[in-house]
Amino acid sequence: MLVRALYVSRAVGPVTTTVTAAILASARRHNSPAGITGVLCQGSGLYLQVLEGERAAVNRLYASIISDKRHQDVELLSFEEISQRRFGAWSMALVELSASDPMVLLNHPEFDPYAASSSGAMALLDDLLKAGSPIDTPPPQNKA
Ligand SMILES: Cc1cc2nc3c(=O)[nH]c(=O)nc-3n(C[C@H](O)[C@H](O)[C@H](O)COP(=O)(O)O)c2cc1C
Q: Is pLDDT at 40 greater than 80 in this prediction?
A: yes
Q: What is the mean pLDDT of residues 13-33?
A: 91
Give domain status of residue 33, yes or no: yes
Give domain status of residue 13, yes or no: yes
Q: Is pLDDT at 140 greater than 60 in this prediction?
A: no
For the stretch 101-129, pLDDT in tens is: 777 777 887 778 899 899 999 998 988 88
Give domain status of residue 143, yes or no: no
Q: Is pLDDT at 141 greater than 70 in this prediction?
A: no
Instruction: Please give the Cα distance from 47 to 72 (Å, whole number).
Output: 10
Ligand 1 environment, Cβ below 6 A: 23, 26-27, 29-31, 40, 47, 49, 61, 64-65, 68, 70-71, 92
The phi-psi region of residue 44 (left if phi > 0; otherwise alpha if psi is between -120 and 50; otherwise beta) is: left
pLDDT of 69: 96
CA distances (Å), origin 79, targets 12, 43, 50, 75: 24, 23, 10, 11
CA of 66 to the centre of ligand 1 (A): 9
Give domain status of residue 103, yes or no: yes
Domain count, the chain: 1
The more confidently predicted of residues 140 and 94 is: 94
pLDDT of 142: 47
The more confidently predicted of residues 34 and 16 is: 34
Give domain status of residue 26, yes or no: yes
Give the domain range for residue 73: 2-131
CATH number reported for the structural domain that contains residue 25 in this entry: 3.30.70.100
In sequence order, which ranges of 16-117 are alpha helices (DSSP H)?
17-34, 55-66, 102-107
Give domain status of residue 64, yes or no: yes
Candidates 19, 123, 106; CA nearest to 68 is: 19
Q: Is pLDDT at 97 greater than 90 in this prediction?
A: no
Dihedral angle over CA of 105, 100, 39, 110, nearest 10: -40
Q: Is pLDDT at 99 greater than 80 in this prediction?
A: no
Q: Outline where DSSP puts E strands in the chain.
A: 2-11, 37-43, 46-54, 71-81, 93-96
Give domain status of residue 125, yes or no: yes
Specify the ligand 1 atom closest to the Cα of 42.
Answer: 1
Give domain status of residue 96, yes or no: yes
pLDDT of 135: 65
CA distances (Å), origin 12, targets 57, 68, 70, 87, 124: 25, 10, 5, 26, 23
